[in-house]
A and B are shown apart, each in its own frame.
Chain A
């Protein structure tokens, strides 16, 4: 177990390093110049050259990379051009907002998608399920920039019950979390439905029913217990991608999270900030994935024993 954990952490660190390195190279290959973005369109060539020298951008790429690595080893990811503050601090300041939004969205998704999926599985292939099917397909088909704007229009403009943007009150969480959850509910509920429908017709369920186990226990203990792994995996993957910042939704609702920070960093070609953002979100996503993998044995005894045998 300790060996497994060590190997996984090693793999994770390597993945984060490769991701950050790739991004380091790619943003410098992409068109656009931080100096121009920094000094504005009226800057003279001399001014631009001076700024490049100041930011260290006039040196060859491998040298820049070495400087970056040296900083990385000491936890210094450079100074953000646009914020004039340590890039890592800027990202970490935004992180709680993104995590709050992701947690709210994943809780909402779970709370709706699991009962909905179970409801559909228990009525598999009936006309009532068809209605739910249409709704979930529609949910899957709505892009978040559209559903976000629609929610804004209805609940913040036409019927102003909720704040339109920012995170001044907890009410501000409702619309962005709902926007994210619409698509996720559609996807997860269909997964829950498929898994549950298979388990509800499994032989072990019929045998359990034959010994007088209540329908409630059959559905929630037996069928759900056996559907937990794929559902948990899907929810975990979704959550991991949400902590990366939900760019579109954060921009639509002016949410002060990592997603909207990425947009600003890219617009201003703020290399240190982009690198810091990628580092933090990649590390976070991999951490979440690792936690999910470690949680598997709690839900499936077969995984537990396999691991014991391997280690």
Chain B
């Protein structure tokens, strides 16, 4: 799986010095009431500038745990990490305190459920300007608000300056997810971790959100780690995908290669779970099962 063969974009040699994110042999054990569960069992992947890497799998496969572990957002007393997670050379597993300098600057999170991801008693302006100030403490108050409105405009929110005064419960899920992307972008990150960013949204809204992310990547060459259970999403946005099951990657490679010729039974099963609609099955028909029904 060489980078240059990527379908949508081409990584330039200059970017390959140190990857944005380099995860190697990451293992995450969760302490639960039922005992210790190895949720992530030795996964390795890299993300370069301008590249989207997708981890796809069903619920409980460990994909979200991987994302949260990479960001150091698992509760310290309930999760044990080993292996290495390097952001441009800094290993945050070896030095967990270092993640604080990375979060909101080098890497930002786009959460799964936008409806619960913002504080309900603070305006979106308050939460957005806070993110701007964290990144640019030197900006005067007025410039912070201008920057916040500009970020909302970037994610195509109408009347951005007026929206700053609204509270989360006044906006729809799709609008909130745009706000959350704007907040993530306030940190001017090099990498976005998108944890099922569209799974809580209507299909029509999903497309808009993915469109914003793709356009953003086109413009800024930001790296994206996409977590999803939706093969349609994966196929649309990814350069490479890793199919995850029971804490391991069962298959990794370029998106078209995997969709056209899945080597693993589990991957075939995931592919067959996609409803067969329109031009979708042209590629999948070659190697996938003939039935469009989910199992």
CB of A307 to closest CB in B, whole Å: 14
Asked if A211 and B119 make an inter-chain contact with CB atoms under 8 angstroms apart, the answer reads no
Question: Which of B121, B131, B167 has its CB near the most chain A CB atoms (within 10 A)?
Answer: B121
List residues of chain A with CB within 8 A of the CB of B103: 209-212
1/0 contact string of B97-135 vs chain A (CB within 8 Å): 000100111001101010011111111000100110011
Closest to A302 in B: B169
Question: Is B187 engaged at the interface, CB distance under 8 Å to the other chain?
Answer: yes
Question: Is B183 engaged at the interface, CB distance under 8 Å to the other chain?
Answer: yes
Within the assembled complex, what's the spacing in Å between the Cα atoms of A217 and B122?
13
- Known: A207-B109, A301-B169; 10 extra A-B contacts, CB below 8 A, are A208-B127, A210-B103, A210-B109, A211-B186, A212-B105, A212-B131, A221-B122, A299-B121, A300-B121, A302-B169
B116 in complex: contacting residue of A202, A225, A302, CB < 8 Å: A202
**Known pairs A204-B116, A302-B169; A212 contacts B187 (CB<8 A):** yes
List residues of chain A with CB within 8 A of the CB of B119: 204, 208, 222, 225-226
A211 in complex: contacting residue of B108, B113, B167, B169, CB < 8 Å: B108
Interface residues contributed by chain B, number (CB under 8 Å): 31
Question: Is B55 engaged at the interface, CB distance under 8 Å to the other chain?
Answer: no
Closest to B166 in A: A301
Closest to A126 in B: B77
Asked if A212 and B120 make an inter-chain contact with CB atoms under 8 angstroms apart, the answer reads no
Within the assembled complex, what's the spacing in Å between the Cα atoms of A305 and B167?
10
Question: Is B184 engaged at the interface, CB distance under 8 Å to the other chain?
Answer: yes
Q: B residues near A, CB below 8 A?
A: 71, 73, 100, 103-105, 108-109, 111, 113, 116-123, 127, 130-131, 134-135, 167, 169-170, 180, 183-184, 186-187
1/0 contact string of A204-234 vs chain B (CB within 8 Å): 1011111111000100011001101000000
Q: A residues near B, CB below 8 A?
A: 202-204, 206-213, 217, 221-222, 225-226, 228, 299-302, 305
**Known pairs A203-B116, A222-B119, A226-B119; A211 contacts B183 (CB<8 A):** yes
Asked if A213 and B134 make an inter-chain contact with CB atoms under 8 angstroms apart, the answer reads yes
For the complex of A and B, list the 7 residue pairs with the smallest distance between their C-beta atoms, beginning with the closest.
A212-B104, A210-B109, A211-B104, A203-B116, A301-B167, A207-B117, A212-B103
List residues of chain B with CB within 8 A of the CB of A221: 122
List residues of chain A with CB within 8 A of the CB of B122: 221-222, 225
**Known pairs A203-B113, A302-B167; A211 contacts B121 (CB<8 A):** no
List residues of chain A with CB within 8 A of the CB of B120: 204, 226, 301-302
Asked if A211 and B184 make an inter-chain contact with CB atoms under 8 angstroms apart, the answer reads yes
A209 in complex: contacting residue of B73, B118, B167, B186, CB < 8 Å: B73
List residues of chain B with CB within 8 A of the CB of A212: 100, 103-105, 131, 134-135, 187
List residues of chain B with CB within 8 A of the CB of A305: 167, 169-170
Closest to B168 in A: A204
List residues of chain B with CB within 8 A of the CB of A207: 109, 111, 117-118, 180
29 contacts between A and B (CB under 8 A): A203-B113, A203-B117, A207-B117, A207-B180, A208-B127, A209-B73, A209-B103, A210-B73, A210-B108, A210-B109, A211-B184, A211-B186, A211-B187, A212-B105, A213-B130, A222-B122, A225-B119, A225-B121, A226-B119, A226-B121, A228-B121, A300-B121, A301-B120, A301-B121, A301-B167, A302-B120, A302-B169, A305-B167, A305-B170
